[in-house]
Amino acid sequence: MAAIDAMDQTRQAISFAHLEALLEAVFLKAGAAAGVARILAENCAGCERDGALSHGIFRIPGYLGSMKSGWVDPAATPVVEQAGDSFIRVDAANGFAQPAVAAATALVIEKARQNGAAVLAVRNSHHFSALWPDVEPFARQGLLALSMVNSFPCAVAFGAHEPVFGTNPVAFAAPCDGADPIVADLATSAIANGDVQIAAREGKALPPDHGVDRHGQPTTDPKAVLDGGALLTFGGYKGAAISMMIELFCAALTGGKFSFEVDWSAHPGAETPHTGQLIIVIDPDAGRPSSHFAMRARQFVDRLEAAGASRLPGERRYRNRRQSIEKGILIRNTDLRRLQQLAGGAAAAKTRP
């Protein structure tokens, strides 16, 4: 999509299956391998369904720009390497991160169940989405998962004057008795770059203390942040420390690039960060005769709620998901038409609601 038309407020509700099929056709038409197109379509449609809008269909132009410019290989075959009993490395071969993670998932689960924990270190990969889709499925199988990914230089360390960090999100998922898994997923910058872009398109100001302009001066203007400025980390030096951990774990450990090493200047239109990702999976009941963790998680959540916690992380997304499943996913008509064009005529018949 050349641009999302922020002025067009007319929308229609479409099913998840319809959106997923449409996006799959878009990725296929742009040259993605069949397996890659399917995985990215499910991921992107899931973000839209759950209201994770900074990483839903808004990202399609960026995906396609990266593919068209030759920056990412949408037909890459990831190479899975067993680096240790419970340490699995994947070379994503300059492809997207999600197919690389998918290629190793069965092995990671097997090793986590066998040994109590497993580490998945992905390098040479492009992650352009939310992180929760990477961790939630593990928790649905009774496992704990922690993941992080670095991105591209757009956030300044506490007291620094140049962006070295990416927006570097971290996410965890945990099973909880009688409920959806607990899932938290957050950028370590004060705000995700995607939300800054959305604010710029919609003419909205950022909250104070989120970004600086190209001269290092505080600004609430999203355009000034995007045009040579930078984001701050959340929580000052504390967020900076977590962002530093993410750089070390996702680049130095995996063999991927640090955010500051990402240079797509020779690939106009490219937007997907070419970095690395780490996932740690733990079997919480390893060495115990019966399931314990999910029950303890439930007790903790009950205590939080009794203490007045108004909502848990992940709750907004789950609510959106339930609504989308019941009533359909609301998509602007202009966006739907543009996606249909990108999918090509042949796909249109396949993707009717």
> How many residues in the shown chain lie near ligand PYC by CB under 6 A?
9
* Cα 110 from Cα 168, distance rounded (Å): 28
User: Does position 80 bind ligand NDP by CB under 6 A?
Assistant: no
SS3 category, 119: strand
Q: Which stretch of DSSP H or E encloses residue 83?
A: strand 79-84
* Cα 149 from Cα 14, distance rounded (Å): 31
User: Does position 54 bind ligand PYC by CB under 6 A?
Assistant: yes
> Is 267 marked active-site?
no
Task: List, in sequence order, the alpha helices (H) in 5-75.
Answer: 16-29, 34-49, 60-68
* Cα 186 from Cα 195, distance rounded (Å): 12
Contact (Cβ atoms closer than 8 angstroms) between residue 193 and residue 129: no
Smallest gap, in angstroms, from Cβ of residue 342 to ligand PYC? 20
Of residues 276 through 335, those in contact with ligand PYC by CB under 6 A are none
> Is 185 marked active-site?
no
Catalytic site residue from 55, 126, 127, 210: 55
Q: What is the DSSP secondary-structure string of 286-326?
A: TT-SS--HHHHHHHHHHHHHHTT----TTHHHHHHHHHHHH
Q: Are strands 155-156 and 230-232 parallel, antiparallel or unpaired?
A: parallel
Q: What is the DSSP secondary-structure string of 158-196?
A: TT-SSEEE----EEEEE--TTSPPEEEEE-SBSS-HHHH
Smallest gap, in angstroms, from Cβ of residue 349 to ligand NDP? 33
User: Does position 153 bind ligand PYC by CB under 6 A?
Assistant: no
User: Does position 187 bind ligand PYC by CB under 6 A?
Assistant: yes
Q: Are strands 87-96 and 117-126 parallel, antiparallel or unpaired?
A: parallel
Burial class (CB in 10 A: 0-12, 13-18, 19+), 171: buried
For residue 214, how many other CB atoms are within 10 A of its CB?
Answer: 12
User: Does position 222 bind ligand NDP by CB under 6 A?
Assistant: no
Of 22-30, 166-174, 237-245, 329-337, the window that binds ligand NDP (rule: CB under 6 A) is 166-174
131 binds, among ligand NDP, ligand PYC, none (CB under 5 to 8 A by kind): ligand NDP
Contact (Cβ atoms closer than 8 angstroms) between residue 55 and residue 44: yes
Smallest gap, in angstroms, from Cβ of residue 253 to ligand PYC? 19
Smallest gap, in angstroms, from Cβ of residue 219 to ligand PYC? 17
Q: Which residue in the set 23, 41, 130, 144 belongs to the binding site for ligand NDP (CB under 6 A)?
A: 130
User: Does position 128 bind ligand PYC by CB under 6 A?
Assistant: yes
For residue 54, what are its two tokens? 């900074």
User: Does position 317 bind ligand NDP by CB under 6 A?
Assistant: yes
Closest by CA to 251, choosing from 261, 239, 237, 241, is 261
User: Does position 125 bind ligand PYC by CB under 6 A?
Assistant: no
Smallest gap, in angstroms, from Cβ of residue 184 to ligand PYC? 16
User: Does position 316 bind ligand NDP by CB under 6 A?
Assistant: yes
Q: Which residue in the set 28, 52, 174, 294 belongs to the binding site for ligand NDP (CB under 6 A)?
A: 52
Of 30-38, 136-144, 167-175, 280-288, the window that binds ligand NDP (rule: CB under 6 A) is 167-175
215 binds, among ligand NDP, ligand PYC, none (CB under 5 to 8 A by kind): none
User: Does position 186 bind ligand NDP by CB under 6 A?
Assistant: yes
* Cα 166 from Cα 256, distance rounded (Å): 14
Q: Which residue in the set 117, 144, 155, 187 belongs to the binding site for ligand NDP (CB under 6 A)?
A: 187
> Is 66 marked active-site?
no
Q: In what order do the strands lie in the sheet with 163-165?
A: 163-165, 155-156, 230-232, 211-212, 218-219
User: Does position 167 bind ligand PYC by CB under 6 A?
Assistant: yes
Q: Using CB under 6 A, list all residues that contact ligand PYC.
A: 54, 128, 151, 167, 187, 192-194, 273
Any idea which residues carry the catalytic annotation?
Answer: 54-55, 195
Task: Write out the residues near ligand NDP by the rule CB under 6 A.
Answer: 52, 54-55, 127-132, 149, 151, 167, 169, 171, 184-187, 191-192, 194-195, 273, 311, 313-317
